[in-house]
Amino acid sequence: TRVPRGRPAGDSPGIPLGSPPACWGEGRDFSAVAPPVSLLLVSHHSAGAPEEEHIIRSHLHRSQGEPQGSHHVPDHHLPQETLFRQAGGVTYRIPALLYVPLDDSFLAFAEKRSSARDEDAKYLVLRRGCQHGTSVKQWGPMEELSALALPGHRTMNPCPLYDARSSTVFLFCICVEQGKTERCQIWSGCSAARLCFATSADGGRSWSTLRDVTDEAIGADLSRWATFAVGPGHGLQLDSGRLVVPAYTYYVHGCLCGALRLPCFTCQHSLVFYSDDGGRCWHKGALLGGQRTGECQVAEVGGPRQPVLYCSARAPRGCRAVALSTDLGLSFQQPAPCVALGEPPGGCQGSVVSFAAPARSAGAPTWLLYSHPTDRQRRRDLGLYVNPSPLDGAGWQQPWVLHAGPAGYSDLAVCPGGVFGCLFESGASSACEEITFCLFTLDPSGDQDLKAP
């Protein structure tokens, strides 16, 4: 039986995991909750680059006596490659990364904009990278996906996912009516966004026409959605085969009725769209209730007997919001603040993935990896966080800083052999200057040295 859709899930039945604490991790000693983990940063190789691997290692956990909120900043240049760069009045924002096992490749997506403003988005762009072991040999040229658009609309928020059963890449996005800002939609209570996707059967080399599934997936509830968006960043396929697309909406809870119908109480809520038939039909899950939650990503944790969908959502109150689902995203328990994962004022998008725990490591069989700016005052210093105990909000270890300086949105991808990719916004004076790619692996040895052999 499906949970009724379209309303916040605050009145839905409780999830049999027990309620989370008022704040995840509150009052815990973060220095003692998990074994140390190190990162091996592995460079990619562009065409003509030398074949040797450059490996940089850094300790990931906070040592005894180190104050909460501190993090490790590397003193070596990390092997990274800029895939999109601001130039000539063109800005690239909103990265999304997908690993395609069909041909061992990465698909790196972004929005092409005429300025950094959301309303100046034009269409999506793509670069393909061919993986070879623990490196990327070559990135192809930028492809403009201008055909993936609705007339009179701008294409935004790339959200790719891979269906392993059909070897199909799905690229979700929203198409927003030109000239309609998010603020305008929220004030009017009338959404100008459409939920769309295209598919590729050849690893992103060619794409189907764009399909608009707004009415199918949202239905009559669209009249209460002031606006909405997917992701941004990757979606995923669950072990059950279900395809899941993270999303959020500004839900109109109340209106002032008169000559003009004006929204008087509009609030952000995260949710997921899903399909159980390989992408032919799409539905929406219940909205997260409780506190305001916005841009989000989800990861599957737990075992096959009791899978849990972990939702990490942007929140405005200084730290990340987390909610769990045991019905594969049909509903989520009330979100709770995760004090270990800070947010700058206004929040920032972040990425989360789950992966099999390293061999001979302590903790749960499935771990979480999370990327987000570590500075709680500004969007700076992109960090990588590991949680060996995903259902414990205090399990997050202190971050390892991947990029020191301005940093914004990011997206993670999991590859075979314990390799991960990260695509992120960065720059010297502004996070909108570049979108950069980096490969790395996890090392549970606990080696605290930072080395570049």
Q: What is the 3-state secondary structure (H, E, C) of 188-255?
A: HCCCCEEEEEEEECCCCCCCCCCEECHHHHHHHHHHHEEEEEECCCCCEECCCCCEEEEEEEEEEEEE
Q: Given 81, 111, 118, 381, which residue is catalytic?
A: 118
Active site residue 343: no
Active site residue 327: no
Q: Given 111, 343, 381, 425, which residue is catalytic?
A: 425
Handedness of CA 230, 231, 237, 238 (dihedral sign): negative
Can you say how many angstroms the Cα of residue 186 is from the centroid of all Cα atoms in its chain? 23
Of 386, 311, 349, 416, the closest CA to residue 99 belongs to 416
DSSP assignment, residue 10?
G
Kindly report the CA angle at 244 between 355 and 13, in degrees rounded to 5? 95
Q: Given 81, 409, 411, 434, which residue is catalytic?
A: 409
Kindly report the CA angle at 18 between 15 and 20, in degrees rounded to 5? 100
In whole angstroms, give the CA distance from residue 307 to residue 90. Answer: 43
Both structure tokens of 375: 């500075």
Task: Assess contact for 231 and 166: CB atoms under 8 A.
Answer: no
Active site residue 251: no
Handedness of CA 6, 9, 10, 14 (dihedral sign): positive
Task: Assess contact for 208 and 173: CB atoms under 8 A.
Answer: no
Catalytic residues: 118, 409, 425
